[in-house]
Protein backbone atom coordinates (compact mmCIF):
# COMPACT_ATOMS: atom_id res chain seq x y z
CA UNK A 1 0.00 0.00 0.00
CA UNK A 2 0.97 3.64 -0.30
CA UNK A 3 3.28 5.02 2.31
CA UNK A 4 3.74 8.56 3.59
CA UNK A 5 4.47 10.94 0.76
CA UNK A 6 5.98 14.40 0.93
CA UNK A 7 6.15 17.13 -1.65
CA UNK A 8 8.24 18.65 -2.96
CA UNK A 9 11.22 16.36 -2.53
CA UNK A 10 13.53 19.34 -2.87
CA UNK A 11 12.89 23.01 -2.35
CA UNK A 12 15.38 25.80 -2.91
CA UNK A 13 14.36 29.26 -1.82
CA UNK A 14 15.87 32.59 -0.98
CA UNK A 15 16.25 34.07 2.45
CA UNK A 16 13.11 35.89 3.49
CA UNK A 17 10.73 33.89 1.30
CA UNK A 18 7.72 31.86 2.40
CA UNK A 19 7.57 28.10 1.84
CA UNK A 20 4.99 25.36 2.27
CA UNK A 21 5.84 21.71 2.67
CA UNK A 22 3.16 19.08 2.21
CA UNK A 23 2.69 15.70 3.83
CA UNK A 24 0.23 13.00 2.78
CA UNK A 25 -0.01 10.43 5.58
CA UNK A 26 -1.04 6.83 5.28
CA UNK A 27 -4.80 6.64 4.87
CA UNK A 28 -6.59 6.17 8.17
CA UNK A 29 -3.67 7.23 10.34
CA UNK A 30 -4.91 9.67 12.95
CA UNK A 31 -1.55 10.89 14.21
CA UNK A 32 0.84 12.96 12.11
CA UNK A 33 4.27 14.22 13.10
CA UNK A 34 6.71 16.75 11.68
CA UNK A 35 10.46 16.62 12.31
CA UNK A 36 13.45 18.33 10.85
CA UNK A 37 16.87 16.79 10.46
CA UNK A 38 20.18 18.50 9.97
CA UNK A 39 23.19 16.72 8.53
CA UNK A 40 24.67 14.23 10.98
CA UNK A 41 21.93 14.73 13.55
CA UNK A 42 18.88 12.75 14.53
CA UNK A 43 15.41 14.01 13.65
CA UNK A 44 14.26 16.92 15.79
CA UNK A 45 10.60 16.94 16.78
CA UNK A 46 8.55 19.95 15.66
CA UNK A 47 4.85 19.21 16.11
CA UNK A 48 2.35 16.40 16.17
CA UNK A 49 -1.34 16.24 15.35
CA UNK A 50 -4.01 13.96 16.64
CA UNK A 51 -6.75 14.36 14.06
CA UNK A 52 -7.09 18.01 13.10
CA UNK A 53 -5.66 19.49 16.27
CA UNK A 54 -2.06 20.05 17.24
CA UNK A 55 -1.59 17.90 20.32
CA UNK A 56 1.96 19.10 20.94
CA UNK A 57 3.69 21.96 19.14
CA UNK A 58 6.46 22.41 21.67
CA UNK A 59 9.14 21.70 19.08
CA UNK A 60 8.34 24.57 16.74
CA UNK A 61 11.41 26.80 17.04
CA UNK A 62 9.65 30.15 16.73
CA UNK A 63 6.55 31.84 15.36
CA UNK A 64 7.84 31.70 11.79
CA UNK A 65 6.89 28.02 11.77
CA UNK A 66 3.28 26.93 11.58
CA UNK A 67 1.55 23.69 10.62
CA UNK A 68 -2.04 22.81 9.80
CA UNK A 69 -4.06 19.67 9.22
CA UNK A 70 -7.53 21.02 8.46
CA UNK A 71 -9.28 17.78 7.55
CA UNK A 72 -7.29 15.40 9.67
CA UNK A 73 -5.38 13.96 6.74
CA UNK A 74 -2.96 16.05 4.68
CA UNK A 75 -0.76 18.45 6.60
CA UNK A 76 1.16 21.51 5.52
CA UNK A 77 4.19 22.92 7.30
CA UNK A 78 4.54 26.62 6.65
CA UNK A 79 7.70 28.63 7.17
CA UNK A 80 7.63 32.40 6.91
CA UNK A 81 10.62 34.67 6.30
CA UNK A 82 12.96 31.76 5.81
CA UNK A 83 16.47 31.95 7.16
CA UNK A 84 19.59 30.08 6.10
CA UNK A 85 19.44 28.18 9.39
CA UNK A 86 16.13 26.66 8.33
CA UNK A 87 17.96 24.57 5.74
CA UNK A 88 17.39 20.92 6.65
CA UNK A 89 15.44 17.84 5.67
CA UNK A 90 11.87 18.08 6.91
CA UNK A 91 10.40 14.69 7.72
CA UNK A 92 6.78 13.77 8.18
CA UNK A 93 5.53 10.61 9.87
CA UNK A 94 2.14 9.14 10.59
CA UNK A 95 0.85 6.43 12.90
CA UNK A 96 -2.50 4.72 13.49
CA UNK A 97 -2.78 6.32 16.93
CA UNK A 98 -0.70 8.03 19.51
CA UNK A 99 0.07 5.32 22.01
CA UNK A 100 3.75 4.44 22.30
CA UNK A 101 3.03 1.09 20.72
CA UNK A 102 2.06 2.69 17.43
CA UNK A 103 5.09 2.74 15.22
CA UNK A 104 5.61 5.83 13.14
CA UNK A 105 5.88 5.52 9.37
CA UNK A 106 8.15 8.15 7.91
CA UNK A 107 8.09 9.78 4.52
CA UNK A 108 11.22 10.39 2.44
CA UNK A 109 11.44 14.01 3.53
CA UNK A 110 11.67 17.39 1.83
CA UNK A 111 15.14 18.83 1.54
CA UNK A 112 14.85 22.59 2.07
CA UNK A 113 17.74 24.83 1.07
CA UNK A 114 17.61 28.50 1.93
CA UNK A 115 20.12 30.55 -0.03
Q: What is the largest CA-CA distance in the chain?
A: 40
Q: How far is the CB of 14 from another protein (least distance, A)?
A: 24
Q: How far is the CB of 43 from another protein (least distance, A)?
A: 5
Q: How far is the CB of 55 from another protein (least distance, A)?
A: 7
19 or 107, CB closer to another protein?
107
4 or 112, CB closer to another protein?
4
Using a 10 angstrom Cβ sphere, with 0-12 exposed, 13-18 middle and 19 or more buried, the burial of residue 20 is: middle
17 or 106, CB closer to another protein?
106
The residues binding another protein (CB under 8 A) are 4, 35, 40-45, 47-48, 55-59, 91, 93, 98-101, 103-109
Amino acid sequence: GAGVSQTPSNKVTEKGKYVELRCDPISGHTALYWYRQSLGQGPEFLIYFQGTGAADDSGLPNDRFFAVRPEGSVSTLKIQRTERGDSAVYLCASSPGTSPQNEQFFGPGTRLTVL
